[in-house]
Amino acid sequence: MGKEIERKFLVNKEAWQKMEKPAGQYYRQGYLTNEPHKTIRVRLADEAGYLTIKGISEGATRLEYEYAIPINDARELLDNFSGSELSKIRYKIPFDNKIWEVDEFLGDNAGLLVAEIELQSEDEPFEIPDWVAGEVTGDEKYYNSNLTIHPYCQWNNG
């Protein structure tokens, strides 16, 4: 059974801008199904395609199944079947023997920076970098699937 345990945090924009970071990877992703209890996502990541099925979150845990698919299939699925989409640049930042993934959103979600860390268990201890701000794990408005429907530019602070 596939399982994802992930915690999400906002990123301090000022600290992030000052920090040295590796090149990011451009993602285009869209949702074939976007329901509260399940999502089916297609992602283009540079020259790779993925199909991902995710279940409902319980705490920081949810079922997740991800499969590599041919790049042309991913493009065709996004172009012809995606009900909603977003794009972002993802940075992978090593910190204290973990990899933090920081998403800098583009388009209607420009200005939003979210950091994620995947864990082996919900109670696994980890260090938080100084560029990480408040935790938003479980706050559905930060789910990528929701950002395609209610983008950051429509929020009161966006």
Catalytic residue check, 31: yes
Q: Report d(CA 107, CA 87) in Å as an integer.
A: 7
Any bridge partners for residue 113, and if so which?
104
Residue 40: enclosing H or E segment and its boundaries? strand 38-45
Query: What DSSP character marks residue 131?
Result: T
Long-range pairs of 116-125 with CB within 8 A, sequence gap ≥ 24: 116/6, 116/7, 116/8, 116/9, 117/6, 117/7, 117/9, 118/4, 118/5, 118/6, 119/5, 119/6, 119/7, 119/60, 120/5, 121/5, 122/5, 122/59, 122/60, 122/61, 124/5
Annotated catalytic residue: which of 27, 31, 142, 152? 31
3-state secondary structure of 154: helix
- Residues with catalytic roles: 31
